[in-house]
Amino acid sequence: MKKIRVVVSGAYGRMGREVVRAITAENDLELVGAFDSAGVGCDTGEITGIGANGIRVDASLNSVLKNSKPDVVVDFTTADGFEKRASAIMKSGARLVTGTTGLSDATLKKLEKQAGDKKTGVVIAANFAIGAVLMMQFAEKAARYLPDCEIIELHHDKKLDAPSGTALATAEKIAAAGRSTERKEPTKTVKLDGARGGDFKGVSVHSVRLPGYVASQEVIFGAQGQTLKIRHDTISRESFMPGVVLAVRKVMRLKKMVTGLESLL
């Protein structure tokens, strides 16, 4: 059986380390390279606790792509410099699976065009946890009948962007379900800027950043005499790995960019 050759971009980060462990644990996948600007020279097996594997973190993505010739690059980095990295990955002929959030619409459109022109698979998802994907789908369905809602997303205190990509993706689905794009705002006096959260197409989105959290989200719907809460809690980053592994396998058969893990389920 020919294994799928995988490079992890952002391998020294929290998510990157989980991806290294997950890829290594699968019989049909093979870790062949690792890129990050941090932890350069570290053995990825040693930093993830699975034992030395000889795959060291390289500071040059182009070097990793050239030397390892991957089938797929799994990217969990930052929006800063993403477009350049994605372009290098596409030029190398590798497919891309990414959970990097905070990407602009212009960047996504450019990536979609590159994937289409090259007929190369790309999977971009705000969240790879199966439960989180279901939470978004349930919220989308509920919004058809209970249009008044707000989103509270809670993440660890090291997360660099707010709101989360999952919260914005959820709000987008809710808005697309037919909800009014004008926020109902009864508040006449705002005593603290931002107290009512951000306004995304009429949906109030609130971000919490505290130690102890990994990732959680609650969508609260309100109607006459009732409320409905749909919540998903990520207890550990391991919850994302089944979705990542699924995406790595599925992207091999794609010839375009798809958005959201739900597109693969």
Question: Please, which pLDDT band fits residue 24 given cuts at 50, 70 and 90?
Answer: very high
Structural domains of the chain, count: 2
For residue 179, pLDDT over 80 is answered with no
Q: Are residues 176 and 90 in the same domain?
A: no
User: What is the reported pLDDT for 187?
Assistant: 85
27-36, 178-187, 225-234 — which is least confidently predicted? 178-187
Answer yes or no: do 206 and 143 share one domain.
yes
pLDDT at position 190, please? Answer: 87
CA distances from 226 to 17, 137, 172, 229 (A): 43, 21, 24, 10
Same domain, 65 and 116: yes
Range of the domain at 117: 4-124+238-263
Which DSSP letter does residue 100 get? -
CA dist list (Å): 170 to 39, 43, 159 = 34, 37, 18
User: Which of 155, 173, 206, 250 is an active site residue?
Assistant: 155
> Based on the domain organization, do 152 and 220 belong to the same domain?
yes
Take residue 85 and report the two structure tokens written for it: 């990295």
- Identify whether 156 is a catalytic site residue: no
**Which residues are CB-neighbours of 63 under 8 A, at least 6 positions away?**
none
Per-residue pLDDT reduced to its tens digit, 190-236: 889 999 999 999 999 999 999 999 999 999 999 999 999 999 999 99
* Active-site residue identified among 69, 118, 156, 159: 159
Q: Kindly state whether residues 138 and 224 are assigned to the same domain.
A: yes
Q: What is the pLDDT of residues 90-142, one digit of tens each?
A: 999 999 999 998 889 899 999 999 999 999 999 999 899 999 999 999 999 99
pLDDT at 41 over 80: yes
Only one residue has tokens 């800027």, namely 193
Q: How confident is the model at residue 46 (pLDDT cuts 50, 70, 90)?
A: very high
Question: Quick one: pLDDT at residue 81?
Answer: 92
The per-residue pLDDT for 222 is 94
* Residue 153 to residue 189: CA distance in whole angstroms: 24
pLDDT confidence tier of residue 180, bands split at 50, 70 and 90: low
Question: What is the C-alpha to C-alpha distance for residues 188 and 134, in angstroms, rounded to an integer?
Answer: 36
Same domain, yes or no, for 75 and 139? no
Among the listed ranges 42-56, 169-183, 193-207, which one has the minimum average pLDDT value? 169-183
Say whether both 15 and 110 belong to one domain: yes
Confidence of residue 75 (pLDDT cuts 50, 70, 90): very high
Confidence tier at 17 by pLDDT (50, 70, 90): very high
Kindly state whether residues 77 and 156 are assigned to the same domain: no
Mean pLDDT of the chain: 94
Same domain, 216 and 185: yes
Residue 82 shares a structural domain with residue 117: yes
The CATH number assigned to the domain holding 198 equals 3.30.360.10
DSSP symbol at 177 = T
- Residues 75 and 25 grouped into a single domain: yes
- Same structural domain, 21 and 112: yes
d(CA 265, CA 256): 16
Q: What is the CATH number of the domain that holds 82?
A: 3.40.50.720
Neighbours of 225 (CB within 10 A): 5
Active site residue 155: yes
